[in-house]
Structure 1
Amino acid sequence: METHHALWNWSVEHLEKFWESVWEYCEIKSVTPYRCVLEERKMPGAKWFPGAMLNYAEHVFRNERSDRPALLFRSERVPYREVAWKELKEKTAAVASALKKIGVKPGDRVVAYMPNIPETVVAFLACASIGAIWSSCSPDFGASSVLDRFRQIEPTVLFAMDGCQYNGKELDKRPIVDELRKNLPSLKKTILLPYLREDVQATDDSVLLWDEIIQEKAELSYEYVPFDHPLWILYSSGTTGLPKPIVHGHGGILLEHLKSLMIEENITKESTFFWFTTTGWMMWNFLIGGLLVGATVVLYDGSPTYPDGNALWELAEKARITHFGTSAAFINICMKLGVKPKESYDFSDLEAVLSTGSPLTAEGFLWVYENVKDDVCLVSCSGGTDVCTAFVAGSPILPVRAGVIQCRSLGANVQAFDENGNRLINEVGELVIVDPMPSMPLYFWNDQNDERYLDSYFDTYPGIWKHGDWIKMDEEGGCVIYGRSDSTINRAGVRMGTSEIYRAVEAIDEVLDSLVIDLEMMGKKSFMPLFVVLQPEVALNEELKEKIKNAIRQKVSPRFVPDEIYQIEQIPKTLNGKKMEIPIRKILLGFPLEKAVNRGSMANPEALQFFIELSKQLASSEQNRLSNH
């Protein structure tokens, strides 16, 4: 095939042949043969490679070697550390043995409240090796947000640390760990890592210390599981209810990550692969996939701007990173700080800069080429926790165009649809997937009759996956993501349901009702306002603003503290009492009023006036910003 577009066309038209070729090219090992590639092209419910029995962790450790490390690690506390393949395998075997002694079996859930450190990788690989199901939250999540996730899946074992450091500040996490243990009745044991201090002691018989369990020598063995046996549970929040526990399978993730990293991103056994992420973002799971290829994976724990904006660029030189993964938010911060990494660091090993989390603007592209490296391959990509991969990404054989994502991912039949299900070219529409992908969710945990699953992706176009992003695509598949088409909050790639923020805010006595809107969209300044209706006679002052922000900081995450808080008289609602998040988002983004909202479906159309006026103010300030820029 002469062009990438021709290859993509073949990959979606001959879906089964394409994924069979990925299986063969990436040398997937199964102890039993598969009966067929795909039983039927349908969504949801696609059955991939039935009959295959395999293990994710075995595909990691088949890459073991002595001449290159498996992991490189740096944090605000640890200057630099290498983890050899031999050490990674021995510790994984020891932790897997300890889990078996506790009684953990295939299908049991094991959870982690841990930062992005080598011990977390060990714990995950140990779970994968025995067929246990992994799930993690990062330490920036408050106790209630963690419990909203972990309680749903009833874990047997909790991995946790005593504390961590962020932006130079030591954070004692023991009170949160105690709260998790108290409110997760299914736990048999907690495995505690002394990370902040060395003198941590087990408080009772249900606590095991990390340093003790890794002392035991054990042989690493693998539990072979069906292709669709659960590997991990990730979480994506909608606008109502608890976070959705998304279950991904061993085989689907294995195949998808090998395809993405090995074939599309050209990551090899000689590559050094980094992505700035926490353990609460799907990019952590994607990053660990670098071990499947045999690459050296680089972990960083801490603030990306501590002690200054050069922290990660210094690491890129030190670790000789070949593929530097980050977010559009980090690139924007570097631009604002006036950082010029290439003047201070040697990036001769750097082949690619990868960006995700939110749309990367043309200015962001320009900054990378002017201030990092002028011959690097800059890849902007977009996907989701829902599939733990990218739908649209890049290719080393395609030209890079500022502000544009190069192409659709191989095997991902991505289209832009209008509201009637017609395909659009060079017009903004809903991002949809019209054929199944191996890493689509197996199901949501405890989702009766797949009700939430169907409602999340298939309620608009039956049998076709609607992702919730606005996309504009050209004839060759080059595209621009314009932000969320739904009302989910997206802060630097981590998505949070508005319901979690409402629970924190509306628990405050002074607050009667609230509305939060994420105004991140391509070409506009990112802005997340919170609107509150207060008790009679209560006025919004700085003290109350700080009280609201602290509630979000502690119960949800510091990441989701609003940029501004406004007091309003009433929240716009539908006739059946639902908060009108999407119409208000459209109004504030500057959509024509008649295309943003149907006043006839509102209980209180007079509530719109405040947002119409605010939209004019935001548009004016945006115009001034662009003029000054």
Structure 2
Amino acid sequence: MSDNKLWEGSTPFKEKSHLFKYRNWLADNRNIYFNSYEEIWQWSVDNIGDFWESLWDYFNIIAHSPYKSVLETTTMPDFKWFDGARLNYSEHIFRHAQLEQSAIIFGNEQGDYSELSWKDLKKKVASMATYLKSIGVTKGDCVVAFLPNVPEATISFLAVNAIGAIWSSTSPDFGTESVIDRFAQIKPKVFITVDGYFYNGKPHDKTTVANNIASALPTLEKVIVLPYLKKEDVSGFPKDFIDIHTIFKTDGGELVFEPVDFNHPIWVLYSSGTTGLPKAIVHSHGGILLEHLKYMAFHNDVHKGEHYFWYTTTGWMMWNFLQSALLMGATIVLYDGSPTYPDFYKLWAFSENVKINHFGTSAPFLVASMKNKIAPKNNCNLSSIRSISSTGAPLPYEAFEYVYKNIKSDVWLCSMAGGTDVCTAFVGGTPFYAVYPSEIQCRALGVSLYAYNDDGQPVVDDLGEMVIDKPMPSMPIYFWNDPNKERYKASYFEHFPGKWRHGDFIKINSKTNGLVIYGRSDATLNRHGIRIGTSEIYRSINKIDTIEDSLIVNLELEGGNHYMPLFVKMKPTYKLTDTVKNQINGLLKKEYSPRHVPDEIIEVTDIPYTISGKKMEAPVKKILLKMPIEKSINIDSMKNPESIDFFLQFAKQI
């Protein structure tokens, strides 16, 4: 943590924010007065029922029946929010429809570009909704999609949602078994698929994969195909499919919204499934609606007419999160393809062309840009961007400084962290606070989050487990096929009974109220009794230009012994030499401690990642501890499965 302030919003910036307006609204409508963000946060977690009810009123939620109570019990995971209320998420999207203005802007690495007006979006959603109802899809049925991040995915989701059905999606870079492992659990009635996609300038035909997935889902009654790779050619699919464009050409009539219970499922997301069958995580219609309104307004400060972008695929929860910018009347910006093809300036040039106001990406993308020494501010006009959001992994100190030196000096950098589990961020940005290197600005409103030590006591200015001790509306209502909530309880509530342990290792700064995340706690390096966050290791290694990527684990061996190997991927044309090893060890000892120095440094050709872009530290650790491969890792969950071969062989030497 540092006193080096990188940015702070001006008085006009703060006074134009949704959070400033909400603070005034609380004073006018609740007779509650606050002088700082921390005061608002403290009130929101001390009075969670009052806080969430205030959002219901502030955002003027459209309810088709009233709620009996805001929150029946605060006991987790047995809570129930806004019991009795009936509403529809899509209805809240379309109350912002602005006829001829753009609802969606789309681009891809092939150079395709299109805009979809609110009028045309509503028309196509109505056509899809009418078609789905005509083939018997009703409230509570599941519709699944194997699609890239294209407008057709958003249209299909909004249509599914409008009729009260349940949405679930994966991106076409998932392997066949990985998709089946996910979709088969929820017994879908309709499968919407693409014929292929482009990535890094290469076509990837997915016709055979899509047919195999459909064949493995016996509950399917219809397959809808988007001809994206081959445009008009869909000859590789069975005769009983329907082209999605045929649906869009039909007149769907008036778009009708089916009211559902507040706690009715909105979608099913999935854990990464790195060591077994992915958990099918079910979120509620109303919980997501309230949570995303809160986050988009108060933590991202998204305004009507702004262009909101996040680089994501349909297989990452950030795609679901991105759709919610429409709740604010903003235009969502979609991009399909590699973020670095043909070069690292691609997304920044795209941002200039479409005038993005809020630019969302992953921490690894910013780190990779930093290590490749690109300076977008010198090549692109980024004057439209007023915030850059980052998630997916801890953003290191140097990457914060890199953004302000090489991308934009007067931008609001909103690092955030949450997860698929809640489809939002527990911690993130606030227009009321300054930005400091490596720190996430605040705990989000309504999130009663603390750092717990091993004794289960909250601590500040010290490392601890991220724990949430009160319910949030966007916590899962259940896992699919988990009737007694046994898997649900085991996933979050066993370590600290009745409290949500998220699995991140954090420190809260008592001076700034910001937070630093040190990595996943299940990957924490317990070095002779001293806990070390993996992000500390990576922060030092990121300073070495010749290293492209790295991964570290600590193995607790028999007899109280430890073995902490560091695996590094060198940049092309560079090799791991004694000089580089000495540089690594010297930096770690100088910047941290001798305990941070690895026992061995090993060069690898690649670092294992999940499809959603997370380093696979825990699975690698299990492999090196010689646990059975089927209990260590799920190959289908990997972005680069060939990378694990080295670790399987290396384990034999330990």
Shorter-chain TM range is 0.7 to 0.9
Match runs of 1:219-234 below 5 Å: 219-234=254-269
- The 10-residue stretch of structure 1 (443-452 or 78-87) with the greater mean CA deviation from structure 2: 78-87
The aligned counterpart of 2:452 is: 417
- Whether the 8 Å contact between 2:523 and 2:534 is mirrored in structure 1 is no
How far apart, in 2, do the equivalents of 1:53 and 1:391 lie? 26
Kindly state the Cα deviation for residue 23 of structure 1 after the two structures are TM-superposed. Answer: 1.2
How far apart, in 1, do the equivalents of 2:620 and 2:145 lie? 37
How far apart, in 2, do the equivalents of 1:404 and 1:100 lie? 48
The alignment of Structure 1 onto Structure 2 pairs a total of residues equal to: 535
The aligned counterpart of 1:408 is: 443
The aligned counterpart of 2:23 is: none
Shift in CA distance, 569/422, structure 1 to aligned 2, threshold 3 Å: closer
- Whether the 8 Å contact between 1:529 and 1:566 is mirrored in structure 2 is no
- Whether the 8 Å contact between 1:110 and 1:158 is mirrored in structure 2 is yes
Kindly state the Cα deviation for residue 74 of structure 1 after the two structures are TM-superposed. Answer: 0.3
Kindly state the Cα deviation for residue 26 of structure 1 after the two structures are TM-superposed. Answer: 1.2
Match runs of 1:178-193 below 5 Å: 178-193=211-226
Match runs of 1:52-63 below 5 Å: 52-63=85-96
Runs of 4+ in 1 over 6 A off after TM superposition: 560-563, 565-570, 577-581, 607-611
- What SS does the corresponding residue of 1:330 show, helix, strand or coil? helix
Q: Deviations over 1:474-511 (max 9, x none)?
A: 225311001111259xxxxxxxxxxxxxxxxxxxxxxx
Kindly state the Cα deviation for residue 566 of structure 1 after the two structures are TM-superposed. Answer: 10
The aligned counterpart of 2:569 is: none
- Whether the 8 Å contact between 1:530 and 1:562 is mirrored in structure 2 is no
Check if 1:307 corresponds to 2:337. Answer: no
How far apart, in 1, do the equivalents of 2:429 and 2:416 lie? 7
The aligned counterpart of 2:539 is: 523
Match runs of 1:5-44 below 5 Å: 5-44=38-77
The aligned counterpart of 2:597 is: none
Check if 1:317 corresponds to 2:363. Answer: no
- Whether the 8 Å contact between 2:211 and 2:237 is mirrored in structure 1 is no
- Whether the 8 Å contact between 2:398 and 2:539 is mirrored in structure 1 is no
How far apart, in 1, do the equivalents of 2:367 and 2:419 lie? 21
- Whether the 8 Å contact between 1:202 and 1:209 is mirrored in structure 2 is no
The aligned counterpart of 1:216 is: 250
- Partner AA of 2:255 in structure 1: L
- Whether the 8 Å contact between 2:100 and 2:119 is mirrored in structure 1 is no
- What SS does the corresponding residue of 1:486 show, helix, strand or coil? helix
Q: Deviations over 1:38-91 (max 9, x none)?
A: 111121021111111000000011110035200000001243211101111111
How far apart, in 1, do the equivalents of 2:64 and 2:422 lie? 26
How far apart, in 1, do the equivalents of 2:612 and 2:361 lie? 19
How far apart, in 2, do the equivalents of 1:580 and 1:248 lie? 26
How far apart, in 1, do the equivalents of 2:434 and 2:518 lie? 21
The aligned counterpart of 2:149 is: 116
Kindly state the Cα deviation for residue 337 of structure 1 after the two structures are TM-superposed. Answer: 2.1
Check if 1:141 corresponds to 2:174. Answer: yes
How far apart, in 2, do the equivalents of 1:373 and 1:434 lie? 37
Match runs of 1:302-451 below 5 Å: 302-451=337-486
The aligned counterpart of 2:238 is: 204
Q: Deviations over 1:340-360 (max 9, x none)?
A: 111122222211111111111
Q: Deviations over 1:358-410 (max 9, x none)?
A: 11111111111111111111111100100000001011110110111111000
How far apart, in 2, do the equivalents of 1:441 and 1:281 lie? 16
- Partner AA of 1:453 in structure 2: Y
- Whether the 8 Å contact between 1:529 and 1:562 is mirrored in structure 2 is no
- What SS does the corresponding residue of 2:106 show, helix, strand or coil? strand
Q: Deviations over 1:93-120 (max 9, x none)?
A: 1111111111111111100000000000
Kindly state the Cα deviation for residue 520 of structure 1 after the two structures are TM-superposed. Answer: 5.7
Kindly state the Cα deviation for residue 200 of structure 1 after the two structures are TM-superposed. Answer: 1.4
Shift in CA distance, 610/483, structure 1 to aligned 2, threshold 3 Å: farther
- What SS does the corresponding residue of 2:487 show, helix, strand or coil? helix
Unaligned 5+ segments in structure 1 are 489-517, 532-547, 582-606, 612-629
Identity over aligned pairs, percent: 48
Shift in CA distance, 430/336, structure 1 to aligned 2, threshold 3 Å: same
Match runs of 1:475-490 below 5 Å: 475=510, 477-486=513-522
Q: Out of 182, 188, 194, which is 1:161 matched to?
A: 194
- Whether the 8 Å contact between 1:165 and 1:171 is mirrored in structure 2 is yes
The aligned counterpart of 1:152 is: 185
Unaligned 5+ segments in structure 2 are 1-33, 525-532, 542-548, 555-603, 635-649
- What SS does the corresponding residue of 2:282 show, helix, strand or coil? strand
- What SS does the corresponding residue of 1:86 show, helix, strand or coil? helix
How far apart, in 2, do the equivalents of 1:352 and 1:398 lie? 14
Q: Out of 153, 159, 180, which is 1:126 matched to?
A: 159
- The 10-residue stretch of structure 1 (17-26 or 437-446) with the greater mean CA deviation from structure 2: 17-26
Q: Out of 269, 277, 281, which is 2:304 matched to?
A: 269
Shift in CA distance, 567/131, structure 1 to aligned 2, threshold 3 Å: closer
- Whether the 8 Å contact between 1:234 and 1:245 is mirrored in structure 2 is yes
Check if 1:464 corresponds to 2:499. Answer: yes
- Partner AA of 1:527 in structure 2: S
How far apart, in 2, do the equivalents of 1:368 and 1:561 lie? 22
- What SS does the corresponding residue of 2:269 show, helix, strand or coil? strand
- What SS does the corresponding residue of 1:463 show, helix, strand or coil? coil
The aligned counterpart of 1:627 is: none
Shift in CA distance, 101/10, structure 1 to aligned 2, threshold 3 Å: same
- Whether the 8 Å contact between 2:316 and 2:612 is mirrored in structure 1 is no
How far apart, in 2, do the equivalents of 1:377 and 1:418 lie? 32
The aligned counterpart of 1:70 is: 103
Shift in CA distance, 245/549, structure 1 to aligned 2, threshold 3 Å: farther
Q: Out of 113, 130, 148, which is 1:80 matched to?
A: 113
How far apart, in 1, do the equivalents of 2:49 and 2:625 lie? 49
- What SS does the corresponding residue of 2:105 show, helix, strand or coil? strand
Shift in CA distance, 610/306, structure 1 to aligned 2, threshold 3 Å: same
TM-score norm. by structure 1 comes to 0.80
Q: Out of 119, 124, 140, which is 1:107 matched to?
A: 140
Kindly state the Cα deviation for residue 246 of structure 1 after the two structures are TM-superposed. Answer: 0.3
How far apart, in 2, do the equivalents of 1:395 and 1:62 lie? 26
Kindly state the Cα deviation for residue 562 of structure 1 after the two structures are TM-superposed. Answer: 7.9
- Partner AA of 1:173 in structure 2: K
- Whether the 8 Å contact between 1:519 and 1:527 is mirrored in structure 2 is no
How far apart, in 1, do the equivalents of 2:615 and 2:162 lie? 38
Kindly state the Cα deviation for residue 448 of structure 1 after the two structures are TM-superposed. Answer: 3.2
- Whether the 8 Å contact between 2:422 and 2:476 is mirrored in structure 1 is yes
- Partner AA of 2:550 in structure 1: F
Match runs of 1:88-103 below 5 Å: 88-103=121-136
- Whether the 8 Å contact between 1:347 and 1:373 is mirrored in structure 2 is yes
- Partner AA of 1:305 in structure 2: T
Shift in CA distance, 153/251, structure 1 to aligned 2, threshold 3 Å: same
Kindly state the Cα deviation for residue 413 of structure 1 after the two structures are TM-superposed. Answer: 0.5
- Whether the 8 Å contact between 1:56 and 1:250 is mirrored in structure 2 is yes
- Whether the 8 Å contact between 1:549 and 1:562 is mirrored in structure 2 is no
Kindly state the Cα deviation for residue 206 of structure 1 after the two structures are TM-superposed. Answer: 3.2
How far apart, in 2, do the equivalents of 1:141 and 1:558 lie? 10
How far apart, in 2, do the equivalents of 1:363 and 1:117 lie? 33
Shift in CA distance, 50/337, structure 1 to aligned 2, threshold 3 Å: same
- What SS does the corresponding residue of 1:42 show, helix, strand or coil? coil
- The 10-residue stretch of structure 1 (163-172 or 314-323) with the greater mean CA deviation from structure 2: 314-323
